[in-house]
Chain A
Amino acid sequence: MSRILSILSVVLCGLTGCQDPVQTAPEAPGVASGDTEAECQSNESYFMSAVYRPLLEPVCGGCHNGWGVAKDTDFVLVPTDAPEAVPRNYQALLEVARLDIEGIPLVVAKPSGATSHGGGTVLAVESAEYDALMKMVSRIRSETDAACAQATTEDPAIFDGVRLADPAATLRRATITLAGRLPTTAELGLLNDGGWAALDIILGRVLREDAFYEVLREVFNDLLLTDKYMGGREALQLLDKGVYPDAEWMFEEDAYQRADGDEDLLLLARTHANRAVAREAIELIEFIVRNDRPFTEILTADYTLLNPFSAGVYGVHHSLFDDRYDPDEYRQIQLPGIPHAGILTSPMFLNRYPTTATNRNRHRAKVVYDYFLGLDVLKFAQRPIDLASSTHNPTLNDPQCNVCHEVVDPVAGAFKNWDESGSYRVPEAWHGDMLPPGFRRIAQPLEAGQTSLQWLASAITADPRFDRAIVRIIYRGLSGEEPLRPPSVNDEYPEERARLFAAQTEYFERVGRQFRANGHDLRVVFKELVTSPWLRAVGVDDASDPGRAAQLDAIGLIHPLTPEALNRKLKALFSYPWRPNPSGVDYLTDGSEYKMLYGGIDSDDVIKRLRDPNGLMANIQMRMANEVACLVTARDFGQPIDERRLFPGIEPSFVPEDENGFVIADVEGRIRDTLVHLHAYLLGEAWESDAPEIEAAWLLWDQVWRGGRDAVVAQLEPPALPTACRYETDYWSGEAVPEETRIVEDGLYTVRAWMAVISYLLLDYRFLYQ
């Protein structure tokens, strides 16, 4: 049926010249189907919809929190915007739900006034909330959970009337995003025959291309920020010279001797050693994915990844490598006496997230929770510090403090063997005034004392929250958007937002389960997200109702391409980089050029990308549109017809009317066909030659051509192209091209008219956004 609908939609598009090849949910994959809420609803889902939101959050939460008047009772809730607030608050209810007083559940008796309650009577016996609470207690006590075998509460109704991108559009977006190229003809052919099944195969291949690993490195550096140390010797200087005395050997006075008099080797070491050390965490991630290792190994790896140059830094002999000159040869190496735990024991990670004598690794623990478990511990509570409090050792004994510290401190303790410089150094003892090292209320076994981070890594990766955290990271990397935050009663349309949040949360959980079920193959996550309706949505039948609009708020994919992604796209489409000159740096990826201005990061002071456009970015876009049009237009015309990307069916000599004003047959048609091709090639839009968008582009071309032609005749404009826009030399070699292929003169003004069209299309959001 789905294939029939696919065919039907293509046929319809062919007849009507529609813009976005789409399918209508729920035919496309990714939307889980299942029973309705009435037939199958888990206890936790019922808790959220019937008990927490209507009653506990607005009524009980004001006192029953970590700092309220009920903070010392057995029923303490976390704030709604705390991570995993719903499951944690459900757990809090579980712990009191089995208690009765005079035959009435205690948790019902107190708020309804049946027994003494510090907060008075806040729940009417005849109310719906009272019934819901009683039902909740009954469900808990029945010890059965009506959870379905598969996720049912992704709320398919959210996607009612939502139009989704078809396989071809999905593939184009995927190859540009993940591999920096357009789909090949072969891939499109395969897709045409095999539909979604073929797309899965193609994506599997795309996710093994070198360009994909570049994207992977960016996604994870956006998280880890260890590229901060890429410059100069910054990474090398972080290392404790007492532990790694040879860390900077290549810059010492006897470096030449140490390199056995090999100048080439010395130069390579000076070029690559710092880079390899700075990137060791990122390289580990790439290595694991490239070699189909379970992604849990990013934390559990009992080795470090070294190339010949970083090996020298850590005192490892180059004889372990096949080619001591090759910076791309990486080996798994266990440094003597170091209990490696993947990223966690990388000196780069440990220095990027440092500790002090008083901080005691709490900062590192916070980062571990945030990055690898998806929990922002700073949101556990408001944590107002009361200077008047006289509690001894407040982080351990003061409820205002230990609400967070009881979670953070055990993980902080697991870092006890790693000092401020990121070196392995087992202390005589850990702090007796802190909770002992551990995780999730399980203390670390004694035998793990000297390998504490390895123990922690195993514990974290066994936790399903690790799976969801990774899914969120990839989602953020692909969409440019943060996962939804828990809704608040103060939100507009709280019910709709709650449904949306629940649906997205459960979607991430489902993908997380798939991730784990597939041996933590990270490609599964990429494939699932790329083909999900969350990111494939392109339109909806009706969003006029504000509540419905709120429900659709996180659906669809549209955000400005990062400077790196835009740079890759330019190279993919035009095969030329956007630079001041062939040997220069790329404008969009160099920190001294446009990278930072266009919203990029330097992993140091600037660590958050700008996701919203601004006037400066708009000017950069205009500059890019003009410069690239200048660079590529005449150059493309100078290529043989079968090698042209932009103008395969037209020549600069083609003008729609002669000098006497007579229409030249077929030229306008050829121009329109070229415009159709450019819209498809640059923007992924499929139009007929008489579609309104082609008509608009044709008018632009025609008006620029006529005005320019007349200006040349009147000698108001030169007949020749601007110097930089001519095709006279090979871009890379600088050598002159054959005379007959050069394009210098533009007396007909057609090249400049095409330049205007290229600029016009490059300014479009469909080019600049994904």
Chain B
Amino acid sequence: MDRRTFLELTGLTGIALATAQPGLVRAQGMGDYEGPLFLYVHCGGGWDPTSFCDPKGADAEDSPNPMNHYLRRDIRRPLNADGEPERSKIRWAPFGANDAFFERYWYRLLIVNGLDTSTNNHEAGTRYAASGELADGHPCFAAMVAAKHGPKLPLGFVTNGGYDATRGVVGRVRVGSLSAIQRIAFPNQLGEAEQFHSDATQTKIQQFHATRRSRQLSAASLPRVRKAMTRFGNTRSSDNELARLVDYLPNLDDFTTGLGRQGAVALAGYAAGLTVSANLTTGGFDTHGAHDQQHAAALTNLTTGLDEIWREVDRRDMADRVTLIVGSDFGRTPGYNEGMGKDHWPVTSMMLMGAGIRGNRVIGGTDRGHRPMPVDPRTLEPMEGGVNITPAHVHRALRDLAGIEGGPLDQAFGIDTDLLPIIDG
């Protein structure tokens, strides 16, 4: 479809419909990256795994100081069509809209429980979950993947917030107003039938601009200036790659959650051959008061968003091309405070699904007090005297999955912990 036809169909401010091109799964021959799209979802505020994927119910209705207000006997597990339990260690809390999500996706999930974050601080915990490093200084995982596989792609790393530090390894892009994107995707388009410059003139402008950049870089002597000019030059491409994104955008009105829309844009970027990874965010988990009500809402928003993302993945027939990781700052206290809220707790969970992830597994766990249970580093089975799994372990495994392990990025921003068989165990 050429640009003018596209505009006639949708108008400059309209939303491109991917269904207009139902066979368009992913751009062919655009870029060399053939690996999966990595999506990191950050649940901001510190989610409560015991209300979600590491359920801890009360013994009885009148149990004093319960960890949750549901009973242990009501904890859910996957059932087959006959109502018989599936062979699975997946369990979830009868809370919020968890049932709908887990019943649909349990077999795809790798859940890592009992992660010891060693922190109750939002900033440190967010960083640890997104990068595998508690201290400041590492890029987030999504940035590292993009730096490895798509450093020059215009939308290589798309961020919607959370810990999205890049440490200069790759540029990051925020994708906001889509009507604005459609306009800037075609910078020489003046209207439906006009251009600012002729194609020949636009080409000349870019050519002369490129040669001037070369002269300027040759003349620059200060290291800081040279670096900045090099980065500036890297953003210039003779091919307007951004225009391809427009062709792959779905109708975002079909998505009811912000998380779903963020994921849809990232999927469109990947389909267009422009995106390798994305940080997605959803919040509302810092429930120091009225935990049950607020956390149920936040978890429902999360699971609805995840469902929207996976439905879009399935619609694009990309289930084997998307890896999704879900994490949070830390966990929440194994009990309620005076305001019926829950405070910060350094034990949390992460959830992984998609390409390269063998689902229907639970690794790690916690005891009745929601303290981490150590595991055998070889088998990941519970073992007294074993290791506490941390976000660092998860990220080492993720780096291995993404082909970063052992490479220059991994060496520059190393994670000082063992490689456990979390993903392929």
Q: Please report A residues at the B interface, Cβ cutoff 8 Å.
A: 19, 81, 162, 356-359, 378-379, 382-387, 537-543, 549-550, 552-556, 558-560, 591-594, 596-597, 599, 605-606, 610, 612-620, 622-623, 625-627, 629-630, 692-693, 696-697, 699-700, 703-704, 707-708, 711, 717, 722-725, 752, 755-756, 759-760, 763-765, 768-769
Report whether over half of chain B's contact residues are helix, strand or loop; otherwise say mixed. Answer: loop
Q: Select one of A549, A596, A613 contacting B223, CB under 8 A.
A: A549
Query: Contact mask B83-125 → A, CB, 8 Å, 1/0?
Result: 0000000000000000000000000000000001011110110
B241 pairs with A615, CB closer than 8 A: yes
Given contacts A543-B222, A553-B223, A759-B205, contact A387 B116 (CB under 8 A): yes
Q: Which of B164-208 contact A (CB under 8 A)?
A: 166, 168, 171-177, 179-181, 183-185, 187-188, 190-191, 194-198, 200-202, 204-205, 208
Task: Give Cα A293 to B236, complex, Å.
Answer: 47
Are B155 and A615 within 8 A (Cβ)? yes
Contact A597 B205 (CB under 8 A): no
Contact A630 B124 (CB under 8 A): no
Can you name the residue of chain A whose Cβ is closest to the Cβ of B241?
Answer: A615
- Tell me, rounded to whole Å, the shortest Cβ–Cβ distance linking B158 to chain A: 9
Query: Contact: B288 with A615, CB < 8 Å?
Result: no
Quick one: which of B281-328 are within 8 Å of A by CB?
Answer: 281, 288-289
Distance A19 CA – B221 CA, assembled complex (angstroms): 13
Complex formed: what's the CA distance from A763 to B215 in Å? 15
Asked whether A539 lies within 8 Å of B222 as measured between CB atoms, the reply is: yes
Contacts of B343 in A (CB 8 A): 358
Contact (A597, B175) CB under 8 Å given A612-B166, A722-B194: yes
Which of A383, A594, A610, A693 meets B119, CB within 8 Å?
A: A383
Residues of A within 8 Å of B191, CB to CB, are: 723-724
Looking at the assembled complex, report how far the CB atom of B81 sits from the nearest CB atom of chain A, in whole angstroms.
42
B154–A615 contact, CB under 8 A?
yes
- Which of A593, A612, A627, A693 is B215 in contact with, Cβ under 8 Å? A693
In the complex where A383-B119, A614-B172 touch, is A699 in contact with B208 (Cβ < 8 A)? yes
| A708 cross-chain contacts in B, Cβ below 8 A | 198, 200-201
Residues from chain B with Cβ under 8 Å of A550 in the complex: 223
Number of A-B pairs whose CB atoms are under 8 Å?
224
Contact assessment for A612 and B346 in the assembled complex, using a CB-CB cutoff below 8 Å: no
Could you tell me which B residues sit within 8 Å of A by CB distance?
116, 118-121, 123-124, 134-137, 153-155, 161, 166, 168, 171-177, 179-181, 183-185, 187-188, 190-191, 194-198, 200-202, 204-205, 208-209, 211-213, 215-216, 219-225, 228-229, 231-232, 235-237, 240-242, 274, 281, 288-289, 337-339, 343, 346-347, 371-372
- Does A559 contact B228, Cβ atoms closer than 8 Å? yes
Q: Assuming the A-B contacts A626-B197, A693-B215, are A387 and B223 also in contact, with contact meaning beta carbons closer than 8 angstroms in the complex?
A: no
- 27 residue pairs of the A-B complex, CB under 8 angstroms, read A356-B288, A378-B121, A385-B118, A385-B119, A387-B347, A539-B220, A541-B221, A552-B223, A555-B222, A556-B222, A592-B180, A599-B174, A605-B161, A606-B161, A612-B166, A615-B154, A618-B154, A620-B184, A711-B198, A723-B194, A752-B201, A756-B197, A756-B201, A756-B205, A760-B212, A763-B209, A764-B209
* Contact present for B346 and A387 (CB under 8 Å): yes
Known: A384-B119, A558-B228, A623-B187. 11 other contacts (CB 8 A): A543-B221, A597-B184, A606-B174, A616-B242, A622-B184, A622-B187, A707-B204, A752-B201, A755-B197, A760-B205, A760-B208
B208 & A357 in contact (Cβ 8 Å cutoff): no
Chain A residues positioned under 8 Å from B187 (CB to CB):
619-620, 622-623, 625-626
Contact of A615 among B171, B204, B372 (CB under 8 A): B171
Q: Is the CB of A540 within 8 A of B221?
A: yes
| From B180, B194, B240, contact of A593 by CB (8 A) | B180
Taken together as a complex, chains A and B put the C-alpha atoms of A542 and B338 apart, in Å, by: 66
**Residues in chain A near residue B204, CB distance under 8 A:** 700, 703-704, 707, 756
Contact yes or no, B209 A558, CB < 8 A: no
When the two chains form their complex, are residues A597 and B174 in contact, meaning their CB atoms are under 8 A apart?
yes
How far apart sit A435 and B196, CA to CA, in the bound complex (Å)?
67
B241 contacts which chain A residues (CB < 8 A)?
A: 615
- Which residues of chain A have C-beta atoms less than 8 A from B240's C-beta? 619
User: Is there an interface contact between B197 and A752, defined as CB atoms closer than 8 Å?
Assistant: yes
Interface centre among B176, B205, B346, B371 (most CB of A within 10 A): B205
Instruction: Report chain B residues within 8 Å CB of A696.
Output: 208, 211-212, 215
| Bound: A592/B177 CA distance, A | 6
Residues of chain A contacted by B372 (CB below 8 angstroms):
387
Assuming the A-B contacts A540-B222, A558-B225, A723-B191, are A378 and B123 also in contact, with contact meaning beta carbons closer than 8 angstroms in the complex?
yes
How far is it, in angstroms, between the C-alpha of A540 and the C-alpha of B371 when the chains are bound? 58
Q: How far is the CA of A619 from the CA of B168 in the complex (A)?
A: 20
Contact of A722 with B190 at beta-carbon distance under 8 Å, contacts A379-B136, A756-B197 already known: yes
**What's the nearest-Cβ distance from chain A to residue B37, in Å?**
17
Give Cα distance in the complex from A620 to B190, angstroms. 14
Measured between C-beta atoms, what is the minimum distance from B290 to chain A in Å?
Answer: 12
- Give the distance to chain A from B229, nearest Cβ to Cβ, in Å: 6
Q: Is the CB of A615 within 8 A of B235?
A: yes
CB of B168 within 8 A of CB of A612, answer: yes
Residues in chain A near residue B222, CB distance under 8 A: 162, 537-540, 543, 552, 555-556
CB atoms of B228 and A769 under 8 A apart: yes
Q: What residue in chain B is nearest A596 (Cβ atoms)?
A: B176
Question: CA–CA, A618 to B233, complex, Å?
Answer: 9
Given A612-B166, A615-B241, A693-B212, also A722-B195 (CB < 8 A): yes
**A543 vs B240: C-alpha distance when bound (angstroms):** 35
For A624, the closest partner residue in chain B by CB is B187
CB distance from A376 to the nearest CB of B (A): 9
B71 to chain A, nearest CB (A): 26
**Contact between chains at B154 and A759 (CB < 8 Å):** no
For A722, what are the chain B residues with a Cβ–Cβ distance below 8 Å?
190, 194-196
Q: Shortest CB–CB separation between residue B395 and chain A, in angstroms?
A: 17
Q: Give the CA-CA distance A693 to B208 in the complex, in Å.
A: 10
Report yes or no: B121 in contact with A383, Cβ–Cβ below 8 A.
yes
A537 and B136 CA atoms in complex are apart in Å by 30
Q: In the complex, what's the smallest C-beta–C-beta distance from A63 to chain B, in angstroms?
A: 18
Q: A387-B371, A553-B224, A626-B196 are in contact. Are A613 and B205 (CB under 8 A)?
A: no
